[in-house]
Homo-oligomer: A and B are copies of this chain.
Amino acid sequence: MVWGRFEAWDTLKTVKFGRICIVGASGAVGQEFINLIQERAWQCDEIVLFGSGRSAGKRINVTGYGELIIQNISQSKLTGFETALFSAGASVSRQFIPEFTKYGTLCVDNSSAFRMDASVPLIVPEINGKQLSGEERTIANPNCSAIILLMALSGLMPIGNLQKVIVSTYQSSSGAGAEAMNEMLSQTQEVLNGQPAEPKIFAHQSAFNVFSHDSAIEENGFNGEENKIVAESRKILGDAELQIIPTCVRVPVLRAHTESIAATYNQPIPPLDQVRDMIRSAPGVKLQDDQANNHFPMPIDASGGDDVLVGRLRIDPSDPNTLLLMASGDQLRKGAALNAMQIAELMQTLR
């Protein structure tokens, strides 16, 4: 199991890039790429925004870069980019990533298109960033729920070998995109007004409701989201034997996914004060375990932040090798845009 922070990236101070582009600039993750480029003060020679025909022509102001106009990707010249950040769905990635990489562009892909491709690394920098050599041209960004789960467990490596994880998720509407988020908001107002809530994006009412994740049930009875968590976690940790048993559920939250986790190790869990110290010293996570004030990881605290919040720590009274915990992380940031950009930053240090 590869597990450990890539040190060079840790000390990265100034983020200099050549010509970069964002593919899918008008989506929920695309917007977050643009926010984070400004927050993280990326210094790029040029930023080009690509979108679908529908969003082409839309203008977006980016501090330091002026007003940028979204271009229709299919009609554009795809040469001369150092880095391309993709978040436009699997079919767009499959169509255009081979075009970009032909010209040597590094593509970091937020879709599921290449995640399970054996020749494409699937990376969470804090966890398996050491796998990267700098020569890669396509790198996949994992599923948001998988990233948040693995980040929550990332500091706990000293406990021993992780063997089994039972996880139930509390996933926000935004994981299904900007339109799903807007549907949940408008339905909420309808319900408050005593009107019927008509679902369009989701199969079920999302306002004031909880429902099994909207991805289709697959042959093994688990849904697509659950099967992604299992397969991607095994690939990221390089452990095909790891047992992950997920139940993925949507809740009426705008941003940030929360997870209730039971993690079983091959060793007894040490005293919880030691576990808390492990979490405190891990990068990209923040301990939120305030028992006196009943303050544990919550999506409203995680939203808009970079860290995955971890807490509600307990040892399973029936099994000394099992740790119970909760985690909450912004799935548009660490679960998507931030992680992809951290991959790009890490690659800059390796060039």
Question: CB within 8 Å of B: which residues of A?
Answer: 164, 166, 168, 170, 185, 188-189, 192, 203-205, 208-212, 214, 216-217, 220-223, 243, 245, 247, 249, 251-254, 258, 260, 262, 272, 291-296, 298-300, 312-318, 324, 326, 328
Q: Which of B189, B243, B316 contacts A245 (CB 8 A)?
A: B316
Nearest-neighbour CB distance to chain B for A212, whole angstroms, equals: 4
CB-CB under 8 A from A258, the residues of chain B are 210, 249
Tell whether, in the assembled complex, residue B318 and residue A243 are in contact, meaning their CB atoms are under 8 Å apart. Answer: yes
B295 touches A170 (CB 8 A): no
List 29 contacting pairs A-B, 8 Å CB cutoff, sorted by A: A164-B318, A170-B170, A188-B188, A188-B192, A189-B192, A192-B192, A203-B293, A204-B295, A204-B300, A205-B300, A208-B253, A208-B299, A208-B300, A209-B253, A209-B299, A210-B253, A210-B299, A214-B294, A221-B291, A221-B314, A221-B315, A222-B314, A245-B262, A245-B317, A245-B318, A247-B260, A247-B312, A249-B260, A252-B252
Verify B294–A216 contact, CB threshold 8 A: yes
Residue from A252, A299, A313 with most neighbouring chain B CB atoms (10 Å) = A252
> Which 6 A-B pairs rank lowest in CB-CB distance, beginning with the nearest?
A243-B318, A168-B260, A168-B168, A217-B291, A221-B314, A212-B296
Task: With CB as the reference atom, state the residue of chain B lying closest to A297.
Answer: B212
A173's nearest neighbour on chain B, judged by CB, is B208
Q: Looking at the assembled complex, report how far the CB atom of A233 sits from the nearest CB atom of chain B, in whole angstroms.
A: 13
A165 to B193, CA, bound (A): 40
How many whole Å from A309's CB to the nearest CB in chain B? 12
Whether B212 lies near A294 (C-beta < 8 A) is yes
